[in-house]
């Protein structure tokens, strides 16, 4: 997610609750193909060994640029390359990328094959069930022809954005279609479900109901770097890990300092303020604390505000 799952937040997540696989923010393959663009965008492809396995997510509608950017992704040592074919942002669609590729099966296939040729890495796709309407069977069949390592199905159309509940029956359909197309081949495309997943228990239930090979959590991680803690021993009895207010605020400050360290003079500090809205909620005094944090201009000010709230 742009300006959410950046290098700073991923490091925090890796420390406090690491998932099975990380994806980067999505990055313009077109931008990476120009010297000026590459210099500016490489910060979005920075990562640490603690984040492995990590997949670089790119977007483009130009196969030649995707091939060139894919070479860079391989040189940078990523474990995989993901192509975003689901983003509904108009600025992305005007480039023919993101969800716009759902309207051009042949171009989408060319972009995927270029990524596979350029990187030599496992290539995956994140997409939706259709553009204006659900055309999952036709669209997924076209994607499966390229034999990607995985397809993440966001269970909505582009038209629906995130305004309607995700239709997880579509993920089950995707699994059945994959099975019918690829049978019991030793190497098969994984189907990963995505959309409105609340927590790990919900993810496990949705995986069981749909037979999906995996579940992607996006918005659920926002403000909750503890989400994946104890993921391998989660039980109905234990329930999710619930941090104390002090723990949440200490991690928020740590996140802020890391953001400033990595992105000072590269990203606007206001990016952190969307994180504050997510970290600071659900406890007495949260509203007033959020209002104070909205006025913070740097990490030191944010830390002072948090310490005063905690009376430290």
- Give the model confidence (pLDDT) of 76-96 as tens digits: 999 999 999 999 999 999 999
252 in Cβ contact with 290 (< 8 Å): no
- In terms of Cβ atoms closer than 10 Å to its own Cβ (0-12, 13-18, 19+), residue 91 is exposed
100 in Cβ contact with 61 (< 8 Å): yes
What is the residue extent of each domain of the chain?
A: 20-216, 245-310
Active site residues: 87
When comparing pLDDT for 181 and 50, which is higher?
Answer: 50
Q: What is the secondary structure of 2-69 as a DSSP string?
A: TTTSSHHHHHHHHHH---S-EEEEEEEHHHHTSHHHHHHHGGGG---GGG-SEEEEEE-S-HHHHHHH
Domain 20-216 - what CATH class?
alpha beta
pLDDT tens digits, one per residue of 248-290: 999 999 999 999 999 998 999 999 999 999 999 999 999 999 9
pLDDT at residue 186, rounded to an integer: 47
Mean pLDDT value of segment 24-45: 95
When comparing pLDDT for 19 and 183, which is higher?
Answer: 19
């Amino acid at each position: 997610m742009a300006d959410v799952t950046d290098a700073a937040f991923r490091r925090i997540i890796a420390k406090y609750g690491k998932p099975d696989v990380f994806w980067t923010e999505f990055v313009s393959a077109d931008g990476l193909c120009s010297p000026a663009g590459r210099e500016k965008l490489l910060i979005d492809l920075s990562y640490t060994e603690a984040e492995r396995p990590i997949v670089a997510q790119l977007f483009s509608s130009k196969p030649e640029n995707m091939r060139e950017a894919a070479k860079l992704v391989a040189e940078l040592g990523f474990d995989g390359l993901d192509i975003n074919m689901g983003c509904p942002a108009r600025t992305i669609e005007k480039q023919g990328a993101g969800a716009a590729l759902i309207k051009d099966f042949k171009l989408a296939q060319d972009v995927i094959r270029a990524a596979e040729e350029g990187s030599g890495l496992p290539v995956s796709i994140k997409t939706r069930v259709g553009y204006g309407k659900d055309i999952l069977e036709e669209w997924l069949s076209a994607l499966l022809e390229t034999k990607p390592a995985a397809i993440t199905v966001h269970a909505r159309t582009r038209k629906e954005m995130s305004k309607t509940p995700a239709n997880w029956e579509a993920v089950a359909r995707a699994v059945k279609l994959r099975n019918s197309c690829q049978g019991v081949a030793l190497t098969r495309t994984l189907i990963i479900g995505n959309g409105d997943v609340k927590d790990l228990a919900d993810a496990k239930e949705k995986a069981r109901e749909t037979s999906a090979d995996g579940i992607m959590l996006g918005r659920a991680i926002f403000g909750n770097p503890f989400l994946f803690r104890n993921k391998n021993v989660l039980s109905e009895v234990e329930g999710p890990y619930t941090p104390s207010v002090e723990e949440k605020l200490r991690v928020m400050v740590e996140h802020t300092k890391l953001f400033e360290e990595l992105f000072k003079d590269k990203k606007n500090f206001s990016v952190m303020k969307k994180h504050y809205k997510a970290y600071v909620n659900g406890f007495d005094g949260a509203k007033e604390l959020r209002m104070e944090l909205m006025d913070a201009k740097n990490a030191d000010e944010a830390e002072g505000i948090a310490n005063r709230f905690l009376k430290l």
